[in-house]
Amino acid sequence: MKITGVELRRIAMPLVSPFRTSFGTETARDVLLVRVVTPESEGWGECVAMSEPLYSPEYADGAADVLRRFLIPALPEHVDARLVGAALEHVKGHQMAKAALEAAVLDASLRASGESFGRFLGAERDRVPCGVSVGIMDSIPRLLDTVEGYLAEGYVRIKLKIEPGRDLAPVRAVRERFGDDVLLQVDANAAYTLADAPRLARLDEFGLLLIEQPLADDDLVQHAALARRLATPICLDESITSAAQAAAAITLGSCSIINIKPGRVGGYLESRRIHDLCRAHGVAVWCGGMLETGIGRAANVALAALPGFTLPGDTSASGRYFATDVTEPFELSDGHLEVPRGPGLGVEPLPEVLAEVTTATEWIPR
């Protein structure tokens, strides 16, 4: 497939409500979109880097820079979507930028051949069960109202964001109000240290599905030590940046569950490799979320339909984050989202919405 050029497009998407995590509060999503143009088709990829490097070292301006200066120029004139990863391998890091470019090339290629993302990746389901990630709240009554609303919408699993001092009480309150049958998990976004092990062990009594990324990104050894002290399974997010890191974490016993985010690991093909590795080792995986628009969401839902994704993901409906999505909105039905069936991502940006939210575009000819 020959690439004519690549468009980098920035869009600003207001969030329906502020989203607070242990690393900060977001009120809008600043997204970098990648559009690959070929003579036969075009394809879209969504870069999940935040505007600031708070979740991971990447940030949107940095991703745009590395795409423009190093990644887009490194694509061969005739590119096979399966070989994009290899063509970009000499550039270290920048997984989110690489993932967005690979996704856009894949989408263009699949739209040209008429195959869906799900079919290409090996999806075995036509819909996926969905969880929702609930931000840190100033008050427990507000948290309980929010959780009640999501349960009423049909979400099949609740994830509470936690930080030191805002952990035991919110979990206890949700359990007391909604009972032991609700699938419940927590995400610390690396906010604790091993010295907090006694406090984290007090979460054991609440029967959580998992605790996500309690310790720092680079603390695989300490996560293994923590795992030996907790009954609650440890799930890694930020620490898993590649299939090699996933293999190391499994070997060390750092986690028994992995959150796969295609942006964080460098793409959907690396995501599938992690899925295959985890499946072979009996490690459950689920699909994380980075407040994607419908473009990234479509691909995530396709990935989450692979057979090893045995836990509900953060693949929430569009309305969880945005009043107006850039694609037709993904809507929950009986707690599930349907896997798109059309060619490529199976969804398109709506031109009027896209125009309204666009803050900048840049055309990079090949």
Instruction: List the catalytic residues.
Output: 161, 261
Q: Cα separation of 321 and 319, whole Å? A: 5
Q: Is 187 in the site for Mg ion (CB under 5 A)?
A: yes
Q: Which of 7, 21, 37 is nearest to 291 (CA)?
A: 21
Select 212 or 348, whichever has its Cβ closest to Mg ion.
212
Q: Tell the smallest beta-carbon distance from residue 214 to Mg ion (Å).
A: 11
Other Cβ atoms less than 10 A from the Cβ of 342: the count is 15
Q: Cα separation of 290 and 47, whole Å? A: 10
Residue whose beta carbon is closest to Mg ion: 237
Q: Is 288 in the site for ligand NPQ (CB under 6 A)?
A: yes
Q: Considering just the CA atoms, what is the radius of gyration of the chain in Å?
A: 20
Select 112 or 188, whichever has its Cβ closest to Mg ion.
188
Q: Is 29 in the site for ligand NPQ (CB under 6 A)?
A: yes
Residue that is written with structure tokens 């109000």 in the block: 177
Q: Is 19 in the site for ligand NPQ (CB under 6 A)?
A: yes
Instruction: Tell me which residues in 218-237 interact with ligand NPQ (CB under 6 A).
Output: 237
Instruction: Tell me which residues in 119-138 interact with ligand NPQ (CB under 6 A).
Output: 133
Is 68 in a helix, a strand, or coil?
helix
Q: Which of 333, 311, 334, 338 is nearest to 157 (CA)?
A: 311
Q: What does 19 interact with, of Mg ion, ligand NPQ, none (CB < 5 to 8 A by kind)?
A: ligand NPQ
Q: Tell the smallest beta-carbon distance from residue 37 to ligand NPQ (Å).
A: 27
Q: Is 26 in the site for Mg ion (CB under 5 A)?
A: no
Residue whose beta carbon is closest to ligand NPQ: 133
Q: Cα separation of 192 and 213, whole Å? A: 9
DSSP 203: G
Q: CA 18 → CA 80, 134, 146, 292, 358, distances in Å?
A: 40, 11, 12, 15, 21
Instruction: Tell me which residues in 191-250 interact with Mg ion (CB under 5 A).
Output: 212, 237
Q: Tell the smallest beta-carbon distance from residue 257 to Mg ion (Å).
A: 12
Q: Any idea how long the chain is?
A: 366
Q: Tell the smallest beta-carbon distance from residue 247 to Mg ion (Å).
A: 20
Binding site for ligand NPQ (CB under 6 A): 19, 21, 26, 29, 50, 55, 133, 187, 189, 237, 288-291, 314
Binding site for Mg ion (CB under 5 A): 187, 212, 237
